[in-house]
Structure 1
Amino acid sequence: MIPSLFLAHGSPALAIQDTEYTAFLRELGQQWKPKAIVIFTAHWESEVLTLTSTDETYETIYDFYGFPDELYRVAYPAKGSVKLALRLEGLFRERGIEVDTDSARGLDHGSWTLLYKMFPEADIPVIQLSVNPHLPPDKQTAIGEALRGLGEEDILVIGSGVTVHNLRMVNWGQEEPEPWAVEFDDWLIRHTLERDTAALYRYEALAPHSRMAVPRAEHFVPFFLALGSGSEERTPRVIYRGYEFGTLSYLCLQF
Structure 2
Amino acid sequence: MLSPVFLPHGSPFTIFEQSEFTRFLNRFGQENRPKAIVIFSAHFENEITTIAATDDVHEMVYDYYGFPSAFYQVQYPARGSTIVASIVEERLRKHNIPVQREYRGLDHGVFPMMMHAYPEADIPVVPVSVNPFLPARQQIAIGEALQGLEKDGILVIGSGFITHNLRAFDRDKDAPPREWAVQFKDWIREKVLARDIEALCQYETLAPHAAMAVPRAEHFVPLLIALGAGTPGHEIRVLYDTIEHGSGSTLCFQF
TM-score between both structures, scaled by the size of structure 2: 0.97
AA aligned opposite 1:33: R
Instruction: Render the CA deviation track for 1:21-41: whole Å, top value 9, x for unaligned.
Output: 000000000002210000000
Q: Distance in 2 between matches of 1:229 and 1:137?
A: 14
Q: Secondary structure at the match of 2:43?
A: strand
Name stretches of at least 5 consecutive residues in structure 1 with no aligned partner: none
Instruction: Render the CA deviation track for 1:163-182: whole Å, top value 9, x for unaligned.
Output: 11000112221521101100
Aligned to 1:20: 20
AA aligned opposite 2:119: P
Q: CA deviation at 1:184?
A: 0.2
Instruction: Render the CA deviation track for 1:4-51: whole Å, top value 9, x for unaligned.
Output: 110011311111100000000000000022100000000011000000
CA contact (8 A) 1:52 1:101 kept: yes
Q: Distance in 2 between matches of 1:233 and 1:195?
A: 10
Q: Distance in 2 between matches of 1:204 and 1:193?
A: 18
Q: CA deviation at 1:68?
A: 3.2
AA aligned opposite 1:227: L
Aligned to 1:8: 8
Q: CA deviation at 1:129?
A: 0.3
Instruction: Render the CA deviation track for 1:78-97: whole Å, top value 9, x for unaligned.
Output: 11111111121110000000
The answer to whether 1:147 aligns with 2:146 is: yes
Stretches (4+) displaced over 6 A: none
CA contact (8 A) 1:39 1:127 kept: yes
Aligned to 2:226: 226
Q: CA deviation at 1:144?
A: 0.4
Moved more, 217-226 or 162-171: 162-171
The answer to whether 1:215 aligns with 2:215 is: yes
Q: Distance in 2 between matches of 1:77 and 1:10?
A: 19
Aligned to 2:91: 91
Q: CA deviation at 1:54?
A: 0.8
AA aligned opposite 1:45: E
Instruction: Render the CA deviation track for 1:40-77: whole Å, top value 9, x for unaligned.
Output: 00001100000011111101111102223332222111
CA contact (8 A) 1:12 1:113 kept: yes
Aligned to 2:164: 165
Q: Distance in 1 between matches of 2:32 and 2:5?
A: 12
CA contact (8 A) 1:50 1:100 kept: yes
Q: CA deviation at 1:131?
A: 0.2
Moved more, 67-76 or 138-147: 67-76
Q: Secondary structure at the match of 2:75?
A: coil
Aligned to 1:38: 38
Aligned to 1:242: 242
CA contact (8 A) 1:133 1:217 kept: yes
Instruction: Render the CA deviation track for 1:210-237: whole Å, top value 9, x for unaligned.
Output: 0000000000000000000112121112
Q: CA deviation at 1:151?
A: 1.0
AA aligned opposite 2:199: A
Name stretches of at least 5 consecutive residues in structure 2 with no aligned partner: none
Q: CA deviation at 1:208?
A: 0.2
AA aligned opposite 1:75: Q
State the identity as a percent: 50
CA contact (8 A) 1:39 1:126 kept: yes
Q: Distance in 2 between matches of 1:126 and 1:11?
A: 19
Q: Distance in 2 between matches of 1:199 and 1:83?
A: 36
TM-score between both structures, scaled by the size of structure 1: 0.97
Q: Secondary structure at the match of 1:30?
A: helix
The answer to whether 1:130 aligns with 2:124 is: no
CA contact (8 A) 1:51 1:130 kept: yes
Equivalent residues in 2 for 1:198-213, closer than 5 Å: 198-213=198-213
CA contact (8 A) 2:11 2:108 kept: no
Instruction: Render the CA deviation track for 1:97-118: whole Å, top value 9, x for unaligned.
Output: 0100013x11101011111111
